[in-house]
A and B are shown apart, each in its own frame.
Chain A
Amino acid sequence: MRLAVMAVLAAGMVLPAVAQAADAPAIKAYKRDPLPIYDDAGTKLRDVPVASMPAAGSAGAQVVGAKAGFVGVRLDGKLAWLRLSTVDYVGDLAAIKCDANAMSFAKMEEEGLQQSLGLGCGGGK
């Protein structure tokens, strides 16, 4: 199910509203207050104060639909679309493939693995 959500996200397609699974990915942060809400056509409907939104990371903030540039949440029982640029939502990304090299012995001190991005390949498989 979660993979399906991601596949749809990646494809930029509309995902019909789905039942909320307990472990479904949720919005991690709201980045605008008030938060603009959009309809299915991408037209702005209204602004909603963040205080009136489900808490970030909570079950209420679970994403039930996605299309290019937007994620859908249930708000007052109805599907409400949010611009991705105004929230942090990462779906359920797979772990980074990290069998980067054959020299596992070199990856011995976690302090040394930081890279320019702030962290390098984690050595997990």
Chain B
Amino acid sequence: MRHSMILAAVAIALGTAPTIDAAPKKKRAAAPAKVAAAPAEPVVASLPDAPYVPLTGCPVPPAGSLAAVKKVDKKARGKFSIDKAPFISTLDAGDLCVSGNKMRSGAGDTAGSMGLSAQVMNTRSARMDLVDIPAFERELRPVLEAFGKAWPYAPLERTPKLLFRADEAYQAQALPDNTIVVSMGLLEAAQSDSEVLFVLAHEYSHLLLGHFAKAETIAGARGATQAVSVAWSAGSAFTAMKRSGGNVSLATMQSGMDAGARRAAPVAEALRFAVDDIFATSWNRDQENEADALAVDLLIRSNMTIDSYANVFERLQKAFEAQKASYDKRKAAADAAQASMGEAMKGFATSNVAGFAATGGAGMQGFGSGLLKTAGGALVSNLGNITRSMGGDTHLPPEERRKGLAAYFQAGYPTADPPIDTGALIGRIKGKPEFARTVAMRNAYMKARASYFAQDYAGASAQLRALGAGSRTAPTFVNYVAGLAARDQGNVAQAGSFFQAARTGSGVQNLQLYESYTEMEIGAGDMSDSNALIAEGKARFKDPDHFKSIEIKRDIAAGDMAGAQLVYNACMAVKGRDYITERCKAAMPQAAQQPSNPLGFKLPFGG
């Protein structure tokens, strides 16, 4: 009762009754349509991108234009690694140009030494739950522009795009595709302008300093993307197990597999979201301190308030302490999850998976027991390591960072008089109707997602429909989870219509949507649609290597083992992006297990 009231309230708040205005494919049966309420105001999907200003040369600040450098008191700064202030006055213009160019360069195979900005796993397209809120960006973009004017070195060629994440976490992230993501939880918690300004300046600083191009960052990203690979592989395998695209439902499978797969699939899907939640750039301590210091520099140089930035560290410190306190609980939860996965895998092991695969319809032909056991086994054995793989906790405790920054400010800005924090900016943001709407949507979405993970597919569907699932104006992730719920209910037609609405909608496009959608089509034996989706995904995300593992699956499902082998071989030749090859190995374990050549010894010219 209470729940339905909440959803009704959300629907009213959003001004979007469920609609079906997507363009489902001709073969799809449309989901039951409901009459759409007219939106209260025109939907503005996105603020136009900031102008692109190509970088020419390598700007160097004129001599004497930057504040004199002072030493930061060693005892006062503690372990805070910046020992001279202002940090901005100590930077090397040439080094910044090199880092910036590395971050921007190339795409996919044509990337430069790093090419991080073009690799989809490092971009907004790989992140779930993102929303574009033009009203917020309109408020915050001028802040970033002011930071840009205060930066005397090689500038970003475009002011970063601001996106918002429909979650409750207190976090923000910079991505190398020039995106800054701010969680709704952070905006909700903010009680002052200076908190928001500091966070934006901190993330912008990571971009300005070219941290993404640093070797240590890339090493951390590789570990993280491998974790993503494990989750992705396991999720794909369990999706196949559930026969989501075929004619035989899971209920007809052998009982051991039935029970196991039913438990395992939502866990595997949840992992995809979970890894997304924790897939963050692994900054080292120095980089974090540099971003803190430069944030203060940018705020002072752009005459913005710094009154209450310490609140950010206080909130993080409380989280830090809560995190330590909850360690045992989380460990227990992890053990329980791992045990559950282990049980699921026993189901696979005792089932005649290969036999079923041969008789279970076209979609199953390529998915043998080897893949399932390999992927599932990898998940079981890696579950406890997935988050650990993202690097050790090298950060200073937030309280130490606050102390260090206090000493930094004292040394570097002995006469600065930044303006008083009036709270006007955060007041305007929170006063906008979009704020209440987005928070209500976020709350309802998280409930719906939890329902899905609890395998209450019907409940999840109902909740997501109340958020507009089926409409192209709904957030991509709303349609995506609605598609998953429909798929796992066995309603492939409806799942297709949700996925279509997401794919053709105005929301922030998501790579995972394309992967899940394509897997479903492969499972359904629809190679034509699979091909179209793969081609569109390659064009849309401009990273063809990322789709190689899916192409392998498609070829295997189509019985084209030679084609799969060709793609596999090409995939193994991808350099510098370990997760790409890992995914291909998971997609074609039979190839991965083959010796490099039939003679059994290594040939000088490779396999």
On whether the beta carbons of A102 and B387 are closer than 8 Å, the reply is no
Residue B588 CB within 8 A of the other chain? no
On whether the beta carbons of B318 and A108 are closer than 8 Å, the reply is no
Residues of B within 8 A of A123 (CB): 322-323, 326, 330
On whether the beta carbons of A96 and B388 are closer than 8 Å, the reply is no
| Selected interface stretch from A15-23, A72-80, A110-118 | A110-118
Residues of B within 8 A of A109 (CB): 330, 334, 384, 387-388
Residues of B within 8 A of A96 (CB): 170, 185, 189, 315-316, 318-319
Given B202, B318, B409, which contacts A95 in the complex, CB threshold below 8 Å? Answer: B318
Q: Which residue of A lies closest to B401 (CB)?
A: A118
Residue B297 CB within 8 A of the other chain? no
On whether the beta carbons of B171 and A106 are closer than 8 Å, the reply is no
Residue A46 CB within 8 A of the other chain? no
Question: Quick one: given A120-B169, A122-B326, A124-B323, are A111 and B283 in contact (CB under 8 Å)?
Answer: no
B223 to chain A, nearest CB (A): 10
Alpha-carbon distance between A34 and B189 when the two chains are bound, in angstroms: 33
On whether the beta carbons of B387 and A113 are closer than 8 Å, the reply is yes
On whether the beta carbons of B314 and A93 are closer than 8 Å, the reply is yes
A123 to chain B, nearest CB (A): 5
A55 to chain B, nearest CB (A): 14
Alpha-carbon distance between A106 and B417 when the two chains are bound, in angstroms: 44
Looking at chain A, what size class is its interface with the partner chain?
35 or more
B165 to chain A, nearest CB (A): 10
On whether the beta carbons of B167 and A116 are closer than 8 Å, the reply is no
Alpha-carbon distance between A7 and B345 when the two chains are bound, in angstroms: 53
Which interface residue of B282, B316, B327 has the most chain A CB atoms within 10 A?
Answer: B316
Given B203, B311, B313, B420, which contacts A68 in the complex, CB threshold below 8 Å? Answer: B420
A102 to chain B, nearest CB (A): 4
A60 to chain B, nearest CB (A): 18
On whether the beta carbons of B185 and A102 are closer than 8 Å, the reply is no
On whether the beta carbons of B316 and A119 are closer than 8 Å, the reply is yes
A76 to chain B, nearest CB (A): 24
Total interface residues in chain B, CB < 8 Å: 88
On whether the beta carbons of B315 and A93 are closer than 8 Å, the reply is yes
Residue B474 CB within 8 A of the other chain? no
Residue B173 CB within 8 A of the other chain? yes
Q: Which residue of B lies closest to A112 (CB)?
A: B387
On whether the beta carbons of B395 and A114 are closer than 8 Å, the reply is yes
Convert B167-207 into 0s and 1s, putting 1 for each residue whose CB lies closer than 8 angstroms to a CB of A: 11111111000000000010011011000000100110010
Residues from 304 to 342 in B contacting A, C-beta threshold 8 Å: 305-308, 310-316, 318-327, 329-331, 333-334, 336-337
Alpha-carbon distance between A82 and B416 when the two chains are bound, in angstroms: 14
Question: Quick one: given A29-B406, A98-B319, A122-B319, are A117 and B331 in contact (CB under 8 Å)?
Answer: no
Residue B410 CB within 8 A of the other chain? yes
Residue B271 CB within 8 A of the other chain? yes
Residue B589 CB within 8 A of the other chain? no
Alpha-carbon distance between A107 and B36 when the two chains are bound, in angstroms: 39
Residue positions of B touching A, CB distance < 8 A: 167-174, 185, 188-189, 191-192, 199, 202-203, 206, 270-271, 273-275, 277-278, 280-283, 288, 305-308, 310-316, 318-327, 329-331, 333-334, 336-337, 384, 386-393, 395-396, 398, 401-403, 406, 409-410, 414, 416-418, 420-423, 446, 449-450, 453-454
Residue positions of A touching B, CB distance < 8 A: 6, 9-10, 12, 28-33, 68-70, 83-85, 88-91, 93, 95-124
List 18 interface pairs A-B (beta carbons < 8 Å), by A numbering.
A31-B409, A68-B421, A83-B420, A84-B308, A89-B308, A90-B311, A100-B168, A103-B273, A107-B387, A110-B323, A113-B323, A114-B390, A115-B173, A115-B280, A116-B203, A118-B283, A120-B169, A122-B318
* 14 other A-B residue contacts (CB within 8 Å) besides A108-B330, A111-B392, A117-B316: A70-B420, A85-B416, A95-B322, A96-B316, A100-B167, A105-B337, A107-B387, A113-B323, A116-B206, A118-B396, A119-B395, A119-B398, A120-B170, A120-B171
